[in-house]
Chains A and B, each alone.
Chain A
Amino acid sequence: MNLSAALRRWQHEGLVDTATAERIAVFEAQRGSGRFGRAVIGLGSLAILLGIGAVVGANWDAIPAWFKLTMHSAITLGLGIALLRTPRSTARDVLAFLLMGATLTFLALIGQVYQTQSPLWQPMLFWLVVVTPFMLTFARHLMVIAVWCIGFAVTLMAGAEPLTKWLEHTNLALAFFAAIPYLLIGMGQSLAFRRRLPEWGLALAVFGTVALMLTTSHAQILWHMNASLSLDDMHQIKPGLVTGLLGAASLFLLRRNSKLVAQPISYDILLAISPVLVSLPLLFSHGGMPVVGALFFMGYWLVIAWMGLQTGRQGLFNLAVVIIALRLVVVYVEVFGSLLQTGVGLIISGALLIALVLGSRRIIKQFAHKQVSL
């Protein structure tokens, strides 16, 4: 935007007087001075960094392994010292993020130099153990904590197979995985934890809740499959279901006793129905029941929409409405897919799509209005 032209326009419309317009012009001129210089210095620094990266990359094989390891140690140590000396700020979060990344690349370098043959979960677990203390101590930005959460999830996924194998004789493998979201939510919503580490509390609670919502939604795809499980499989599923229900009940009771952050009843209902909906498609033999799966899926997202309204998270409510609408389209294709080959079918499909979009928008607007008036 041309500021001079905008100021003239605002003066002409009587929005600002001449003195104010002059003060704004002077302020903006002072603010902008030196910006070009800083931009050039920034570009120059970036070019130097890229150049160093290119030179190192091109000669990677020629650089002795001991030198690479020493340099990486120095970088990791330097980042650690810088993190220690930086007061709480965005810069400190950036340093924590960089140290987290440098630790991972250092592990990769060790793997490369020593030809380690460890399965992925081992270096990931090592990484998680060594980065968690400094992350808990210094990281406060939600985006940086979210990266740690992703690392935690990757470690868990990478370790799922050996862990399942290790626990297979106990029938507790699914129970272990079912307990994790509830433990994360319990820790994240614990008032004692929130007092000490509020940002971590929020991040862990959101992480646990999102993991539960994604797992439950994804599990509804099991209704499309032919489920005929052996007794062994059933012995794995039931402990998982019981663990989930116990987790939900524990969190509900702790909340009632004011040990956890207060949440509306829709949230506790969501926690309780999730393990049931995950297990249900596998609890009895069936030859595939896609419509039932769609109904459960939409019912689940209705509860999420309700939770969005009760907690005042309009974005979550809007997302839930859109997801339910999209699922309705998929149901239509699943049930009346053959109609799409006819002209009349196409007309009906188009009308249905328009009706869904308009209906969703109307619901979102209506509830947004109610939210404001509450």
Chain B
Amino acid sequence: MNKGKILAMLAVLLPTLALAGLIVQKESLRSQPPVVRLPITGYDPRDLLYGHYLQFRFDFAGEPVAPACQPVLQGGMAEQCRLCVTASGAYSVIPVEDKTADCAYRLPLTHLTGVRKYFIPEDAAPELDRLLRQPGLVMAVDIFASGDAVTYGGLYITGEPWRDYLRNHPPPDQQQ
């Protein structure tokens, strides 16, 4: 086989190989237990849903946030701060330069602040939208991480996977 044919073959295989590599990277990230489960909150009561995406913010309001990192609560300063997750699963927001905190993981906040989105099936959207507005109901997302790579896992409602929760708690208009 000549050099041209080998290059042509590599060129057509590149998309499949590169995308398969991406899947392997994501799977290896998810093969470990989640680093932390973070509560979420809707960010705009008028428009929580955007297409098939549930839009939300991570809710750090009840957790310790270093004074220098307070703007993180409004979605700013993501590059200057980190999410410190201890071995017991407790977490706080600390400045990048704080090396004294006892953290098992120091997650970058670039994917954990501001408006985030979570893909959901269209038929579940209205109910999840209603639940996200419901006061007192805790919705949370699993966070997987390795080094600086962060990816989201399952969406939970009061500790149950969202699909199980919707099955076990049908909306009021569908209850018999």
What is A's interface to B at a CB cutoff of 8 Å? 60-61, 69, 73, 76-77, 80-81, 83-84, 99, 102-103, 106-107, 110-117, 126, 129-131, 133-134, 136-138
B74 in the interface, Cβ–Cβ < 8 Å?
no
B61 in the interface, Cβ–Cβ < 8 Å?
no
- A110–B152 touching, CB < 8 Å: no
- Determine the residue in chain A with the shortest Cβ distance to B110: A117
If A80-B16, A131-B15, A137-B7 touch, whether A69 touches B23 (CB-CB below 8 Å) is yes
If A73-B20, A103-B19 touch, whether A117 touches B116 (CB-CB below 8 Å) is yes
- B18–A126 touching, CB < 8 Å: yes
- B151–A133 touching, CB < 8 Å: no
Instruction: Give 1 or 0 for each of B100-144: 1 = CB within 8 Å of chain A CB.
Output: 000000000001000011110101100000000000000000000
If A115-B119, A117-B117 touch, whether A99 touches B11 (CB-CB below 8 Å) is no
**Whole-angstrom distance between the Cβ of A104 and the nearest chain B Cβ:** 10
B14 in the interface, Cβ–Cβ < 8 Å?
yes
**Whole-angstrom distance between the Cβ of B167 and the nearest chain A Cβ:** 13
- A80–B12 touching, CB < 8 Å: yes
- B8–A117 touching, CB < 8 Å: no
Chain A residues with CB under 8 A of B118? 115
Q: Which of B7, B16, B22, B118 has the most CB of A within 10 A?
A: B16
If A69-B23, A73-B20 touch, whether A114 touches B151 (CB-CB below 8 Å) is yes
In the bound assembly, the distance between CA atoms of A60 and B124 in angstroms comes to 13
In the bound assembly, the distance between CA atoms of A111 and B111 in angstroms comes to 14
- B11–A137 touching, CB < 8 Å: yes
Q: Say whether chain A's binding surface is mostly helix, strand, loop, or mixed.
A: helix
- B14–A133 touching, CB < 8 Å: yes
- B119–A112 touching, CB < 8 Å: yes
If A110-B23, A116-B151, A117-B152 touch, whether A84 touches B18 (CB-CB below 8 Å) is no
In the complex, 23 of the A-B residue pairs with CB atoms within 8 angstroms, ordered by the A residue number, are A61-B123, A61-B124, A69-B23, A73-B16, A76-B16, A76-B19, A80-B12, A80-B13, A84-B9, A110-B22, A110-B23, A110-B26, A113-B26, A114-B151, A115-B152, A130-B14, A130-B15, A133-B10, A134-B11, A134-B14, A134-B15, A137-B8, A138-B11
Chain A residues with CB under 8 A of B13? 77, 80
- B117–A83 touching, CB < 8 Å: no
Chain A residues with CB under 8 A of B150? 117
The 10 closest A-B pairs by CB, nearest first: A80-B12, A115-B152, A133-B11, A61-B121, A134-B11, A103-B15, A114-B26, A117-B111, A130-B15, A130-B18
Q: Which of A77, A99, A107, A117 has the most CB of B within 10 A?
A: A117
If A110-B22, A110-B23, A115-B118 touch, whether A81 touches B12 (CB-CB below 8 Å) is yes
Interface residue tally for chain B (C-beta within 8 Å)? 29
Chain B residues with CB under 8 A of A116? 26, 151
Chain A residues with CB under 8 A of B19? 73, 76, 103, 106-107, 110, 130
In the bound assembly, the distance between CA atoms of A117 and B151 in angstroms comes to 8
In the bound assembly, the distance between CA atoms of A80 and B20 in angstroms comes to 14
Q: Which of B9, B118, B153 has the most CB of A within 10 A?
A: B9
- Determine the residue in chain A with the shortest Cβ distance to B7: A137
- A134–B23 touching, CB < 8 Å: no
In the bound assembly, the distance between CA atoms of A43 and B153 in angstroms comes to 43
**Whole-angstrom distance between the Cβ of B61 and the nearest chain A Cβ:** 21
- Determine the residue in chain A with the shortest Cβ distance to B8: A137
- Determine the residue in chain A with the shortest Cβ distance to B30: A114
- Determine the residue in chain B with the shortest Cβ distance to A106: B19
Chain B residues with CB under 8 A of A133? 10-11, 14
Chain A residues with CB under 8 A of B11? 133-134, 136-138
Chain A residues with CB under 8 A of B9? 84
Chain A residues with CB under 8 A of B121? 60-61
B15 interface neighbour in A61, A76, A84, A138, Cβ under 8 Å: A76
Chain B residues with CB under 8 A of A84? 8-9, 12
Kindly list 4 other residue pairs between chains A and B, CB separation below 8 angstroms, not including A61-B123, A114-B151, A115-B151.
A61-B124, A80-B12, A83-B12, A117-B150
**Whole-angstrom distance between the Cβ of B108 and the nearest chain A Cβ:** 11
If A61-B121, A116-B151, A117-B111 touch, whether A77 touches B16 (CB-CB below 8 Å) is yes
Chain B residues with CB under 8 A of A117? 111, 116-117, 150-152
